[in-house]
Structures are given as C-alpha cells and as structure tokens.
Amino acid sequence: MFRIFAYYALGAIMYGRLEGWGIMDSIYFMTVTATTVGYGDLSPATRFGKLFSVFYSILGFTVVMAAIAPLLSFLQGSWRERLLESIPLVRRAFVRKVDLSDMCLTIHDVNKQINYPRRYALCLIGPLLVFALVALVAFAVEGFGLLDSAYFSLITMSTIGYGDLSPASKLGKAMAIVYLPLAVVALADAISRVAAVTTRRTLRRRDYAAVADEMLLRNCVRNGRNPDFSLREAEFLVAVLLANDILDSDTLNAIRRQFRNMVRNAEQSDFQNASVPPLTPKMAYAELVERRRVPADMDFDQWYKEEWIPRVQAAPVLPLGSAIEVPNFPLQIINMHSFSVTKSPNNHALNLS
C-alpha cells in the first residue's frame, strides 16, 4: 500500500511541476500509462516531462499491477461457482463437476464427465462483470451511447486504447483510476486461464496410447538400446510437458541441476543402476548438517529416530507440487530424468530424440 501511495504522490508532484497538471490529471495519466491503455488524451509536452515518463512508466507498471493483485484474487474466488449455481437457466449446463484429484478415474471417465462449458464460464465470469461495470460507468458518467459504452469498455480492457473515446469528466477520470488496472488484468488473466483449460482439454483427449510403442522404443534406444528398458511415469510426464511447450528445456535443465545439487553427497552405493540417485533421508541429513540446521554432534541414526520419523508421522498430506516453505531456507524438490524432446511440426505427435 505504501508503494502505490508513494508512486502516485511522487508522480503527482513531478507532473505538477513539469507539466502543470493538477493532481487528478496526474494520477489519471499515470494509471493510463501504467496499464498500457494509452488513450492519448493526455501526454507530456515538455522534454523533462517526457524523460521522466520514460523511467517512471516502467516503475508504474510493476507497482500498479502488484497493488491490484488482491482484487484479481477476488475475481477468481469461489463466488463464481455460487453465481452459476444460483442461475436456474445455466445450472444444468454449468454446475456438473468432476473430482480431477481422484486418480482412480481413468482418462476415459474424465473425458466423459468433465464439464468444459463450466470451466470456460468460470474463466470468463470475472472479466464479463468488469466489462459490464466499465460500460455502465461510460454510459452513466460520460454519457456515451450503449454501443459506444460497450466499444469503450472492450477497447479499454484490451489495452488497445484508440483514443477516440476516453473519460473527460473529473468523476469519469477518478473512476478510471480504479477500474483501469482491474479491467486490464481481468481480461489478461481470463485469456491465460482459457488457454490453460484448452491445453488441458487437448492433453486429456489426445490418444497417447496409440504412440506408446514409439515412446518406449525411443527410450530403449536412449538407454543403450536395451530392449527390456521401461518408460517411467516421470519421463512420460516431462516429455509431454516439453512437447506441448508447457515446459522448456532450459527450465527443465535448471530444475534437474537443482536436484543433482541436492544429491551431490550421495555415496556410490546409492547410484545402483541410475545415473542420478534418488534423494534419501541420509542425503537430506548431510545437507542439514552442512547448513548447520542440525547439531554436528547428532549422528544420522539419532536424527532419524528423534527428528525425521516424528516429522514424517506429524506432517500433513499435501498434493504433489505444493510450495515448500522453510523459514529462511526455501526448497523446491523435483525429480527428473535426462532426455530431450522436440515437437513435431503438426503439433499432434511427439517426436522424441
């Protein structure tokens, strides 16, 4: 809250001196600039005003968008589901749900039961309400017609900002300061979420079993042409992530290096037939001792019995991928295997290499 206040306060002072703008026009201009809407109805005319805007606009984007995060969380809240359930006309089409965390369900069961209209509706409810709000303000405050109000709302949310329509009254500018960041972020978030739903839908409906032999063949060839080599779930998972541009190879290698760093103290017996050993309690203990989070005079057996077993018994069951937070010592634990994947030009089949 202090940063957003400081951003607007300093900006209002500087633009007041450099451009002669009032407080309202200065804050309005900073908001239009930070959200990249850029109506063009107000812009710096002096050299120093333009120079100041070059640097301050970058700061404004990060500060304003960070301040709007709590409102964005509200737009993604559970109220959307309650709203769908309260409308009789859409209840039958949009309310049916499936528990995707139940791994007992087969991929065929999920494809039959999952309700994609509901998932798309949940993505769009928030921005649609913001769209209606902006249009209502334009109609009631600025006196735009119905068509112009809808046009202005969409041009604003999409950050196109042609400039043919923009708030002119003090009340309109004051309200724009509030709804501009929310409108821009709401639409961008909705587009991202719709794309994510579409990607998951494609992954669920793609028949990977049809290329199971090819995937296994490539894995056998990569591992010394061993005809008895298997394809692990982790390897399949990473292959699909890479092939669908959900995960890039540089990010994967960064994660793999983190894991290899955690198991760097492994003994030769820990490797067995694997090029990279799994992380074990003994390795975790060695890391804790090295970072002085365990007394040096406490041996592994004592730590295992007195600390590790009680922690395992008391810790809650968290879903895979949950954030790991340790005071002053954040950790991210992921286990990957080494192989490379490229995507075929038709984007329908995996090309493993």
Query: What digits encode the pLDDT tens for the residues 78-89?
Result: 888 787 777 766
Among 119-128, 159-168, 215-224, 298-307, the minimum mean pLDDT is found in 215-224
* Token code pair at residue 273: 């037939």
Q: Check residue 89 and give its pLDDT.
A: 62
- Residue 97: pLDDT band (50, 70, 90) is low
Q: What is the pLDDT of residues 189-247, one digit of tens each?
A: 899 999 999 998 998 888 888 778 888 888 788 778 888 888 888 888 888 888 888 88
Q: What is the mean pLDDT of the chain?
A: 82
Tokens 């692990």 belong to residue: 232
* pLDDT for 173: 94
Quickly list DSSP for 266-296: --GGGTTT-SSPPP-HHHHHHHHHHTTSS-T
The kind and range of the H/E element at 226 are none
3 state DSSP class of 24: helix
Q: What is the pTM of this model?
A: 0.70
Contacts 24+ apart (CB under 8 A), 247-250: 249/340, 249/341
Q: Both tokens of residue 246? A: 């959900």
| Inter-helix orientation angle 116-140/79-86, to 10° | 90
Characterize 260-297 residue by residue with b for buried, 16 or more Cβ atoms within 10 angstroms of its Cβ, and e for exposed.
eebbeebeeebeeeeebbebeebbbbbbbbeeeebeee
pLDDT of residue 209: 80
The pLDDT value given to residue 215: 80
Whole-number pLDDT of residue 104: 77
Find where tokens 């050299």 sit. 47
With a CB cutoff of 8 Å and minimum separation 6, the contacts of 333 are: 259, 262, 279, 324
> In this predicted model, what pLDDT tens digit does every residue of 101-134 receive, in sequence order?
777 778 888 888 888 888 898 899 989 999 999 9
